[in-house]
Amino acid sequence: MLLRLHNCTYAYKPWNRPVLHGLDYTLAPGLTVLLGPNGAGKSTLLRLVASTMAPRTGTITLGNLTAGSGAYRRAVAWMPQQITAMTGLTAREQVAYTGWLKGMNRRDAWDASIRALARVDLTEQADSKARHLSDGQLRRVGVASALIHDARVLLLDEPTAGMDPQQRRMFRDVLGSLTGEVHVLLSTHDVTDLAEESDHVTVLDEGRVIYNGGTAAFLAHAPPDVAPGRVAEAAYTALSARQFTI
């Protein structure tokens, strides 16, 4: 079941220049890192796919589901950049409450909450107050909340912002464990979020896709003499430079 955008255009005001214009895009299975500078249209793309906004023109589908329908919304989950601990609630209660807000009955949401926490390796913290969790653990609560209703696509907007290197590593390990069952689109402007285990890379610039393909092919754009720890950054720089010379 593939997520597809066909000929999608969006502008925040009718008289403004479109943020996205005639965009065609298919989300590949697995973990895709969405790169691009600030203002490239990454957050707009995620909001359209999350069905919190509708394109001015074009269509968005997941298999035979159309964006905006109840079935589509249940199949696509969006985790915003900031996750707030709900006052007085445990991690499990926060995840279950999110499931209830998404239309699950209380018993189903409670039962599903522990399974969702297990998927992000937080079973032992299920009864801990959410406000006592580390930032990295709270992000994982956000992922569990997004997945409680068995979403097929998970959208993440700058999920590692503010994390230290160890927290980033643990968070990417969690995502890697999910991608056999969930397609993940992770938006960032920081190329250090490009981990070796990401399957695909999409680069968005000025509302246009300038690269969409496998991670190895993306990294191959880097010059051969680049230091090993700078390959992703060099590949991104090379693609961006090519964009402005075409």
Dist. CA 14–CA 17, nearest whole Å: 8
Q: Which of 222, 172, 182, 219 is nearest to 200 (CA)?
A: 219
Dist. CA 105–CA 143, nearest whole Å: 20
Measured N-to-C along each axis, helices 91-101 and 106-119 cross at an angle, to the nearest 10 degrees, of 120
- In this predicted structure, what is the pLDDT of residue 132? 93
pLDDT digits (tens, 9 = 90+) for 34-88: 998 888 889 899 999 999 999 999 999 999 999 989 889 888 998 877 788 998 9
pLDDT digits (tens, 9 = 90+) for 151-183: 899 998 888 776 777 777 777 777 777 777 789
Q: Which residues contact 1 (CB under 8 A, 6 or more apart)?
A: 62, 63, 75, 152
Domains defined along the chain, listed by start? 3-245 (3.40.50.300)
If DSSP states are collapsed to H, E and C, what string results for 30-81?
A: CEEEEECCCCCCHHHHHHHHHCCCCCCEEEEEECCEECCCHHHHHHEEEECC
What totals of helices (H) and strands (E) does the chain contain, helices first? 8, 10
Mean pLDDT along residues 229-243: 83
